[in-house]
């Protein structure tokens, strides 16, 4: 989704803005722009459709645009096609205001009609342009007064950055339902969509909350609450990861770097939470009483996080003997869910900013549920609005296709399962210790898979030209198949579906024909034979079979499958953590062989902050 960066300081702003935007590229975008003010040129706006490099070339890396205050933006098109005019910053008719925006102004049509009736000329199809014109409309010499009126008038979600040519010694930011952070420096300050854009310059940040407005000058930042402009004291946070964590570090793609980081990320996530043979979840304030009375456990998430939820359902139901409902966040909020004050909502989100997930969280809380979230981005909105939060210590994830966040979310699910099961008394000492010991071996087992990545590369070379690929599995193998299928389709653009293997014969098997690739997941030992019956069914209809199983069943599977990759044996509950790795690698190598833009797949955004 759109990325915002604003700088006010003593250095030339344009190169800093371009650099910041390059750090936000991972969010997904299709055009970019900057606005910089200088005494000589006034407010200078340069925008371009396409990659940031196009914009950078236009201004020779920023050398052509002078001034020490400015705004930059990468736009992920929602209202209006990707184009130069629709790119941000959007500018008021009198050229006084430049505006960058992330979110959607929902009542923009109505506002546009009113303004057009008053003679205002619009140049873009964006919803954002109404903000620039409204600022001009309400402006009587006081920018804050004008902005307050604008915010009162617009509906929807926004992270806004505003620069006014009359007050070039300040930048203004406002937020409602779209993320915005402030970065504090010595003689300079930043606003940005996330910390990656500013970490090169400062680690001292704060998170703007809904309904807040910030005024940035070179010497400080003052935050106010809307609409009465009462000063707000913000809590500062120190970013504790290195900038190298958000760089490729010698890898061709962030996705491969992040796949390779999984052993460490998994270990970092579980190790501090296992002490003296027990799971210790600091900060989690859910006791036996609540768990005993819990009437429903919802897991709410989108995309890959939802797939973690699918795997979690099998794990948590088995460990807790409570029924678990996994719901897509975009459906939850509109399905009139049954929620009471005895309901627990487990919300899963890497970014902590996914708007559907956030809205579902708010709905769950409104209805009385207690919310426990699993989040990667520290200080994100979902983390801050949850009753309890458990962070995945995966470090920044840049590739659009999630890998290490998926793995670490699963790790936290296992910890929660063991922790709750012990509190509920639904697990015996021996089983508890057995799973916990095996959990600590998972990072090494992932490492062993990664050391054999060339085997997956070879399999990808056999199948990368297939037009349609099915993933089949049963139980947790089905849940992992869903993730394998999503990974493949999002970065390689091959049509792919995941099916519960037993469901094939109820319709989908009609699509199987000679040359269709079926990725058969048969790692869940209990159902190995059943799955293999489904494999025989599709093979006899001409499908090519790429099998995934455990080392102990490899020879059995090779009797039927064309090609088999085996993961180390482990406790059945933990299999998804191993199975997913070859599927991530398979998607990666297939996409690479098809020449796809792996880290920035078409039409996708890393953090989906619009509904
Ligand atoms: C995964 O590869 C996707 N990019 C996507 O499905 C993602 O998992 C989804 O948008 C949810 O994001 P979140 O975890 O940040 O909420």
Task: Give the pLDDT confidence of 31-56 residue by residue, as tens digits.
Answer: 999 999 999 999 999 999 999 999 99
Confidence at 497, pLDDT banded by 50, 70, 90: very high
Is position 2 annotated as part of the catalytic site? yes
pLDDT at 108: 95
The active-site residue out of 313, 322, 539, 606 is 606
10 Å CB burial of residue 382 (0-12, 13-18, 19+) is buried
Per-residue pLDDT, averaged over 268-296, amounts to 94
Atom of ligand 1 nearest to the CA of 329: 16
pLDDT at 607: 78
pLDDT at 243: 79
Interval between CA 128 and ligand 1 midpoint (Å): 25
Best of 179, 350, 485, 601 to mutate for ligand 1, by most ligand atoms within 8 A of CB? 350
Give the separation between CA 277 and CA 418, rounded to whole angstroms: 12
The active-site residue out of 2, 167, 206, 302 is 2
Is residue 51 within 8 Å of 602, Cβ to Cβ? no
Q: Does pLDDT of 1 surpass 80? A: no
Q: Does pLDDT of 581 surpass 80? A: yes
Is position 606 annotated as part of the catalytic site? yes
Q: Does ligand 1 lie within 6 Å of residue 36's CB atom?
A: no
CB within 8 Å of 368: residues ≥ 6 apart: 339, 340, 341, 343
10 Å CB burial of residue 422 (0-12, 13-18, 19+) is middle
Q: Does pLDDT of 161 surpass 90? A: yes
Q: Residue 99 region, left (φ>0) first, then alpha (ψ -120 to 50), else beta?
A: beta
Per-residue pLDDT, averaged over 13-21, amounts to 97
Q: Does pLDDT of 84 surpass 80? A: yes
pLDDT at 606: 82
Please tell me the residue having the least CA distance from ligand 1 atom 8: 304
Q: Does ligand 1 lie within 6 Å of residue 354's CB atom?
A: yes
Per-residue pLDDT, averaged over 69-84, amounts to 93
Q: Does pLDDT of 515 surpass 90? A: no
pLDDT at 364: 97
Q: Does pLDDT of 226 surpass 90? A: no
Out of 199-203, 281-285, 559-563, 589-593, which region has the weakest mean confidence (pLDDT)? Answer: 281-285
- Tokens representing residue 153 in the block: 């008038």
Out of 192-196, 208-212, 280-284, 427-431, which region has the weakest mean confidence (pLDDT)? Answer: 280-284
Per-residue pLDDT, averaged over 505-525, amounts to 93
Please tell me the residue having the least CA distance from ligand 1 atom 2: 401
Q: Does pLDDT of 333 surpass 90? A: no
Q: Does ligand 1 lie within 6 Å of residue 400's CB atom?
A: yes
pLDDT at 357: 97
pLDDT at 27: 86
């Amino acid at each position: 989704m759109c990325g915002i960066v604003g700088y006010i300081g003593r250095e030339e702003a344009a190169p800093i803005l371009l650099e910041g935007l390059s750090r936000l590229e991972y969010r997904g975008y299709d055009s970019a722009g900057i606005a910089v003010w200088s005494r000589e040129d006034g407010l200078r706006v340069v925008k371009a459709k396409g990659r940031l490099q196009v914009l950078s070339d236009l201004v020779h890396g920023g050398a052509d645009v002078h001034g020490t205050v400015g705004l930059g933006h990468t736009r992920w098109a929602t209202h209006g096609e990707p184009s130069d005019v629709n790119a941000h910053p959007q500018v008021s008719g009198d050229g006084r205001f430049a505006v960058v925006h992330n979110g959607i102004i929902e009542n923009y049509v109505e506002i546009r009609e009113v303004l057009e009736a008053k003679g205002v000329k619009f140049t873009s199809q964006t919803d954002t342009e109404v903000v620039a014109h409204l600022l001009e409309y309400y402006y009587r010499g006081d920018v804050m007064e004008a902005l307050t009126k604008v915010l009162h008038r617009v509906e929807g979600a926004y992270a806004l950055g505003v620069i006014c040519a009359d007050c070039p010694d300040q930048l203004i930011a406002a937020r409602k339902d779209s993320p915005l952070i402030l970065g504090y420096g010595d003689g300079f300050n930043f606003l940005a969509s996330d910390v990656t854009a500013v970490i090169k310059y400062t680690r001292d940040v704060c998170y703007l909350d809904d309904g807040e407005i910030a005024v940035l000058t070179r010497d400080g930042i003052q935050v106010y609450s809307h609409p009465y402009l009462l000063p707000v004291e913000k809590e500062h946070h120190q970013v504790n990861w290195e900038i190298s964590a958000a760089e490729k570090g010698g890898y061709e793609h962030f996705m491969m770097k992040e796949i390779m980081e999984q052993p460490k990320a998994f270990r970092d996530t579980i190790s501090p939470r296992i002490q003296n043979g027990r799971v210790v979840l600091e900060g989690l304030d859910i006791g036996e009483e609540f768990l005993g009375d819990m009437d429903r456990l919802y897991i709410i998430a989108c995309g890959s996080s939802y797939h973690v939820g699918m795997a979690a359902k099998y794990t948590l139901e088995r460990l807790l003997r409570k029924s678990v409902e996994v719901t897509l966040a975009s459906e939850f909020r509109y399905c009139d869910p049954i929620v009471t004050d005895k309901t627990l909502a487990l919300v899963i989100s890497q970014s902590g900013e996914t708007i559907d997930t956030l809205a579902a969280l708010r709905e769950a809380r409104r209805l009385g549920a207690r919310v426990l979230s699993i989040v990667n981005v520290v200080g994100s909105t979902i983390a801050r609005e949850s009753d309890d939060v458990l962070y995945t210590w995966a470090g920044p994830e840049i590739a659009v296709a999630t890998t290490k966040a998926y793995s670490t979310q699963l790790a936290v699910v296992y910890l929660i399962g063991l922790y709750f099961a012990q509190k509920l008394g639904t697990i015996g000492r021996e089983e508890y210790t057995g799973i916990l010991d095996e959990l600590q071996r998972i990072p090494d087992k992932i490492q062993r898979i990664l050391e054999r990545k060339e085997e997956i590369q070879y399999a990808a070379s056999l199948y990368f030209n297939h037009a349609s690929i099915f993933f089949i599995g049963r139980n947790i193998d089905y849940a992992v198949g869903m993730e394998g299928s999503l990974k493949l389709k999002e970065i390689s653009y091959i049509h792919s579906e995941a099916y519960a293997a037993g469901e094939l014969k109820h319709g989908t098997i009609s699509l199987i024909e000679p040359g269709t690739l079926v990725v058969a997941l048969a790692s869940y030992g209990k159902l190995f034979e059943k799955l293999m019956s489904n494999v025989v069914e599709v093979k006899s209809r001409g499908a090519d079979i790429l099998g995934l199983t455990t080392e102990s069943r490899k020879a059995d599977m090779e009797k039927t499958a064309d090609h088999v990759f085996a993961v180390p044996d482990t406790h059945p509950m933990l299999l998804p953590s191993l199975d997913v790795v070859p599927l991530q690698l398979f998607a990666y190598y297939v996409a690479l062989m098809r020449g796809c833009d792996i880290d920035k797949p078409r039409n996708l955004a890393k953090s989906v902050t619009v509904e």
